[in-house]
Structure 1
Amino acid sequence: MLVFLSCCLVFLGSGKTLAFAIPMIHSVLQWQESKSRSDNATEEPLCDDEDKPGWESDNETNPKHLNPKQDEDSGGDDDVDESCPIGCMKVLENVEFDFGANKHAADLNKNRPLLGLVLTPTRELAVQVKHHIDAVAKFTGIKTAILVGGMAAQKQERVLNQKPEIVIATPGRLWELIKEKHSHLSNLRQLRCLVIDEADRMVERGHFLELSQLLEMLNDSQYNPRRQTFVFSATLTLVHQAPTRVLQKKYAKKIDQKTKLEMLMEKVGIRGKPKVIDLTRKETTVETLTETRIHCDMDDKDYYLYYFLLQYPGRTMVFANSIDCIKRLSALLTILDCNPLPLHANMHQKQRLKNLERFAERENCVLLTTDVAARGLDIPNVQHVIHYQVPRTSEIYVHRSGRTARAANEGLSLLLIGPDDMINFRKIYKTLEKNEELPFFPVETKCMFAIKERVNLARQIEKVEYYNSRAKQHNSWFQQAAEALEIDLDDDVLIGGRSNEQEESQKQKMLKGMKKQLKHLLSQSVFKVLLKTKYPTQSGKLDLACVCLRTGLHLKHCICTAVVFKFPLGEFCA
């Protein structure tokens, strides 16, 4: 059994999916070829040699030496093919026809088992993997199917009835169909390839309980000693420091790369000596990725986020740790005319896929997402990744940052670090073994007054609209319940009490005035200075004193430690 562990960097865009897709397709084609040879060997030939018993003609004449002219004179059928031996014609006379149109196809499907299984942590990654496998297997006739939550289970069962050789699935939906004893999933002993993508995430404690049950079944009752197991992740050998409260316990075990791999092998159920291929870079990040940071208060993160989106348009992914944060940012940036696209686990699956497609199509777009989009997704030309909230582990940071700077393209990773984020930031910095401190992102402080004015007004509008929407839903539910029970409703139950038409009119007038004021502010230009700075790079730092003095800017206005201008510094300082 071969176990292939690939620790490729996700931001390389190095074709990690093809690393397991090609061997899987090759294995399926080998099975089809061996099946075809065995079927041909067991088929009885329609016509045998003339010297074998049972094929002599009635007049003991060799059919191959019959004179076609003599046969025609003897009153034979004119429609009979002259090149076909008479022995074969006698067999066809006694054939019983079965007019079932799909019998042959059903027999083929019945004998086609599940040969390849790919397990992914997210639905979006499963869809992407299926597209890549279909592209490679386009001319092979291999069928694939996807089994993920958020879609109709009945439709996926109908797809399974077609007996696809390869299934790409998330653990939850797959285990659900296995428990329902679907015929195509009832016998997994013939499984030739098992792929666990993003394995370190999949086997984390407290996540994917169905995966543990599935692996237990595959390694016990459905075990196949000839099965290949492929384990992939970009952070397979990346080990982050355990919390202090864990390290202080007596039974706590210090985890290194070797120990982490051994624990992973045990959870996956790998037997024997696996073959490990480690392609991890020592720096853990590619040279084309620019990593920067901004230290600010929690309430100021909105200002810097809006500043960046306004100053540096492009395809930007903004990551947060919670769904509530994504919802709030989506409402705020919508009011500021940034037209963001949200993506989180509480959204309907069709809407999630639709937002991903829109984000990939638009050159200037913002995707607000949780970590459901952090792993494996190959979205072309993502220029910026903003960590609105610092990730909890170094693995998540690597995967988030890996959405940009793919396939040798340049990209930027920006951390917005608040006081509560410093602990996680220090852990990530220590785990990734950064030799140099991350440079500060350059910000034009003169523009921040206009930025704050816009964001503060948008916050007020968002708060009023949220309150009105919440009050409307709450009061409507209680009013309907009171009418159904035919009872009087107390004013204390309603949010805001019973308001008259005059109060409602004043509130709407105030809201309308704030929106009009914000519209006027959005129509004005924020960046009036012609000089615009680009991101700091890891290649070096400029002398701030030289830059600031020659530009006429006072040193106190520069809060960055590294600035790279779009034009050569020599021309600027001349």
Structure 2
Amino acid sequence: MTREVPPALAGSKRRLQGNSLARKRAKTRHHTADALPWKVVARPVEAGMGGDDGILELEEVDDVEVVYEDTEGGRVVTFNVVGSEPTAEDPEQELITEDAPEMSPSPEDDEIHQPDPFDSVNLLPNWHSYSLHPQLLRVLHAKGFLSPTPIQSAAIPFAMSDRDVVGVAQTGSGKTLAYGLPILHRLLACGRPSSKVKRQLGALILAPTRELALQVSSHLNACLNAVGDIEFKKGKAKQTDKPAETRSPPLVSVAAIVGGMSSQKQRRILDRGVDVLVATPGRLWDIMEDDDDLSKQVKHLKFLVLDEADRMIEAGHFAELENILRLTLRKSKVDQIEPEGNEEEEEPVRDGLQTFVFSATLSKDLQRNVKRRSRPKPAGKYNKREKPASTLDDLLLRLDFRDPEPEIIDLSPQGGVVSTLKESKIECLSADKDAYLYYFLLRYPGRSLVFLSSIDGIRRLMPLTELLNIKAFPLHSQLEQRQRLKNLDRFKSTPNSVLLATDIAARGLDIPAVDHVIHYQIPRSADAYVHRNGRTARAMHKGFSMLMCSPDERRVVRALLGSLGRQDTEIAEMDIELNLLDKLKERVQLARQIETTHHKIKKANHDRRWMKETAEALEVELDSDFMSDSDEDKPSNQKRKAKDLKNASLKVELKRLLAQPLVARGVSTRYITSGSRPIVDDLIAGEFNEAMVGIKKTEAGNDLVVGKKKKGLATKAAAKEPDEEEWQGIETA
């Protein structure tokens, strides 16, 4: 028997399965929908539900009968669970804390689980000294993580010895496993909990963005999957679609709580009990305000993690974080009730909380807004009300480290730049940034992540990229969470694509194979610049970063690099084919005109529709100018039709320009073996740019010009080359 759940439950579809009516009526018990023992199942591909159809996941429950009863208040739906009888001790026992029948562990599983041994001495000699749980060693070996990264080798020994750790390391260095492996090792060592007892929260991981929280949860769950349930294709792990009944329940439960998703479903997950909770502060505090039991569990945590901590403790950000961290503070002996006359010094009560703080930047200077002009303060003057000098000071004030001297591990690279990243810049007018961006995307195909500081900038660029046949996807805070995740997946799966994003994509996201990071708008702080660049050149792979600097942004760039202890002259400029850029400017200008005209028409239609709806609601008659658009003799309609015709002609012209090939200077369109740029060898070798004829395929890092003088000579030399018509005249002669 099936039923359809309203859209308020995150768009998920849930199925109620039962047996015969006679068996169900033998033993029944009334329950609410949220109190049923749901379990997650794989979506059936045969039913057309395995694709990107907006369904997040399915849940099902067995032995439930749906009963419709007619009452005075109307028709009421109740659920009868077969075979469940209330006990005398607890008549209101909820089944939501129990596992499904086929997922219930045997009595032997209630005892401490004895894992199968793993030969780490021969298979993982570099990990053997850490004495990790065999389950973690199997996954590390299966995924090819044969050696720990520098931050992992430095942090894990202290974490395994119950020390608090503050880690600073470059982006893409494996910070998630640096704190994740010790936490999972400790929880796995405790064995499987009894199925009759609700899991208690052991670790809380706080992240600043939803995407980062979901990513951390995915990485930790991948460490808990059985190796037999993981397929490996091209060196990447992928979870198989085995039936739920063939998989045993995990020893450690990991869940993510983020905004933009169904809060009802997230509350049900928490009611069942989880061991590791990855959350954003906002959604977590919303749930904790109505859940006293979760608040009590937070007070008795074993592990507390702040990922990208510097972003979360900035002034004015994440006010909910203060309330959550207040629950983790220790109670002092003075706070406890003691007999009078027994005055002792205030000493906090020792408990077992272990704190981990990780980020790529933990410097107050990097968080300073470089776009604000500030006067230097006179030396020697210090105000007690001033903010602490470093982010670490903020952490010491806000976090209650149980370790009197937390271990601080700083492996951040000098200047905030990893060794495998190449930086460049393009100095241009603000009005020409669109043309330079279009040139770069055609000249160097690949996955490009374009960062902007405003959402309006993304909304302006999106229609331009569509008109210019560039595959682009937006990512900003005003999109629905499902759309944000969908755009991320599309960007990851499309080889030559662009992600137009704000700084919500700058921190922590592990997007594979990002070839270029483009700073279309200069970031407001140096730490944002470091984290933006960290989306490429991850895990010692090559990466490329480019700053697009207008004349009015030069001061900001100098201040930004000055915060990193660098000079703006250290960044090389890009070598640009100016004749191709001029041709692209014409395309961009046409696209702008089309978008401007379309925007005006769309805005006029919206305003007119709004006026009509408002007049109907107020029962007011409109003037004749707002009557039906069917009257063709009206001047407004004639103007609108003229605009439509003009817009259509512009689209035809743009389509014609896009169909024309872009030919570089010195390439003969008549004979490919002649001209100052013979392209035969590149065509035979396959090293040619498909969008630009005569341009050799190369990486962006190979086209850097060191010094302006060298670039000026190259530009003059290119200007002396004969153009296409001159070459044709020479060939004819």
Alignment TM-score, normalising by the size of structure 2: 0.61
Match of 1:3 among 148, 152, 164: 164
What secondary structure sits across from 1:313 in the alignment?
A: coil
Partner of 1:234: 360
Contact 2:362–2:390 (CA under 8 A) maintained in structure 1: no
- Counterpart residue number, 1:118: 205
Q: CA deviation at 1:422?
A: 2.1
Task: Please state how far the C-alpha of 1:24 moved relative to its aligned partner.
Answer: 1.1
2:291 matches 1:181: yes
1:484 matches 2:617:
yes
1:561 paired residue number: none
Query: Does the C-alpha gap of structure 1 residues 160 and 550 become closer, same or farther in structure 2, counting only changes over 3 Å?
Result: closer
How far apart are the structure 1 equivalents of 2:310 and 2:414? 19
CA deviations over 1:465-523 (Å, ceiling 9, x no partner): 112222222221210121233212247899x9x86443332221111111111111111
Shift of 1:197: 0.4
Residue aligned with 2:365, SS = coil
CA 1:183 to 1:546, structure 2 compared with 1: closer, same or farther past 3 Å? closer
For residues 380 and 257 of structure 1, the distance between their equivalents in structure 2, rounded to whole angstroms, comes to 37
| Structure 2 residue identity aligned to 1:440 | E
Deviation at 1:238, TM superposition (A): 6.6
Q: Secondary structure at the match of 2:298?
A: coil
Partner of 2:459: 327
Is 1:337 aligned with 2:455? Answer: no
Aligned residue number for residue 108 of structure 1: 197
Answer yes or no: is 1:312 the counterpart of 2:444.
yes
Seen in structure 2, the aligned counterparts of structure 1 residues 182 and 313 have a Cα distance that, compared at 3 Å, is farther
Alpha-carbon distance change, 209 to 556 in structure 1, aligned in 2, over 3 angstroms: farther
Q: What are the superposed Cα offsets for residues 282-324 of structure 1, whole Å, 9 maximum, x if unpaired?
A: 2421222110111111111111111111111110000000111
Are the equivalent residues in 1 in contact too, given 2:221–2:254 (CA < 8 A)? yes
Q: Which residue of 1 aligns with 2:517?
A: 385
Pick aligned residue for 1:27 from 182, 186, 193:
186
Count of matched residue pairs:
482
Change (3 A) 1:200 1:246: farther
Equivalent residue, structure 2, for 1:440? 573
Using the size of structure 1 for normalisation, the TM-score is 0.77
Shift of 1:260: 3.3
2:509, 2:258 → 1: CA distance?
A: 16
Query: Aligned in 2, Cα 1:322/1:485: closer, same or farther, shift over 3 Å?
Result: same
Pairing partner for 1:535 from 692, 695, 700: 700
Distance 1:352 1:546, change over 3 A: closer
Stretch of structure 1 that moved more, 403-412 or 161-170? 403-412
Equivalent of 1:245 in 374, 385, 391: 374
Of structures 1 and 2, the one with the larger relative CO (CA 8 A, separation 6+) is 1
SS in 1 for 2:297: coil
Change (3 A) 1:444 1:143: same
Deviation at residue 182 of structure 1 after TM alignment: 5.3
Change (3 A) 1:305 1:289: same
Structure 1 residues 121, 224: CA separation in 2 closer, same or farther (over 3 Å shift)?
Answer: farther
Q: Kindly tell me: are residues 253 and 244 of structure 1, through their superposed partners in 2, closer, same or farther at Cα, counting changes over 3 Å?
A: farther
Give the structure 2 partner of residue 350 of structure 1. Answer: 482
In structure 1, what residue type is equivalent to 2:639?
E
1:273 is matched with 405
Q: Any residues of structure 2 matched to 1:446-465 within 5 Å, and which? A: 446-465=579-598
Percent of pairs with identical residues: 40
How many Å apart are 1:255 and its aligned residue? 10
Aligned to 2:351: 225
Pairing of 1:33-432 with structure 2 (within 5 A): 105=195, 107-109=196-198, 112-139=199-226, 141-181=251-291, 183-219=293-329, 225-237=351-363, 239-240=365-366, 245=374, 247-248=376-377, 251=382, 259-271=390-402, 272-432=404-564
Query: Aligned to 1:356, what secondary structure does the other structure show?
Result: helix
Inter-partner Cα distance in structure 1 for 2:328 and 2:602: 49
CA pair 545-193 structure 1, distance change in 2 beyond 3 A: closer
List alignment gaps of at least 5 residues for structure 1: 37-103, 558-574
Give 5+ residue unaligned stretches, structure 2: 1-161, 227-249, 333-348, 666-693, 723-733
Deviation at 1:539, TM superposition (A): 10
Contact 1:189 1:224 in 2 (8 A): no
Counterpart code for 1:260: T
Tell me the alpha carbon deviations over residues 129-177 of structure 1, each in whole angstroms, 9 at most, x when there is no partner: 0110001122452111111111111011111122010111000000000
**Alignment-derived partner of residue 42 in structure 1:** none
The answer to whether the Cα contact below 8 Å between 1:113 and 1:184 also exists between their aligned partners in 2 is no
User: Are the aligned partners of 1:4 and 1:275 in contact in 2 as well (CA < 8 Å)?
Assistant: yes
- Summarize the Cα distance change of 1:18–1:431 in structure 2 as closer, same or farther, 3 Å threshold: same
Residues 478 and 221 of structure 1: is their aligned pair in 2 closer, same or farther, counting only changes over 3 Å?
farther
Of structures 1 and 2, the larger Rg is shown by 1
User: Which whole-Å CA distance do the structure 2 matches of 1:351 and 1:442 have between them?
Assistant: 37
Counterpart residue identity of residue 378, structure 1: D
Contact 2:574 2:703 in 1 (8 A): no
Match of 1:515 in 2: 651
> What is the distance in 1 between the residues matched to 2:466 and 2:218?
32
Query: 1:256: how far off?
Result: 12
1:36-56, Cα deviation, whole Å (9 max, x unpaired): 7xxxxxxxxxxxxxxxxxxxx
Q: Distance in 1 between matches of 2:163 and 2:624?
A: 70
Structure 1 position 426, deviation (Å): 1.0
**Closer, same or farther: CA 257–440 of 1 in aligned 2, 3 Å:** farther
Q: Answer with 471-480 or 376-385: which moved more.
A: 471-480
User: Is 1:553 matched with 2:718?
Assistant: yes
**Larger strand proportion of the pair:** 2
Q: 1:244 to 1:325 in 2, by over 3 A?
A: closer
1:332-382, Cα deviation, whole Å (9 max, x unpaired): 111111121000000000000000001111110000000000001010110
Give, in whole Å, the separation in 2 of the partners of 1:510 and 1:212: 57
CA RMSD in angstroms, aligned pairs only: 3.2
For residue 195 of structure 1, report the CA deviation from its aligned partner: 0.6
1:447 CA displacement? 1.1
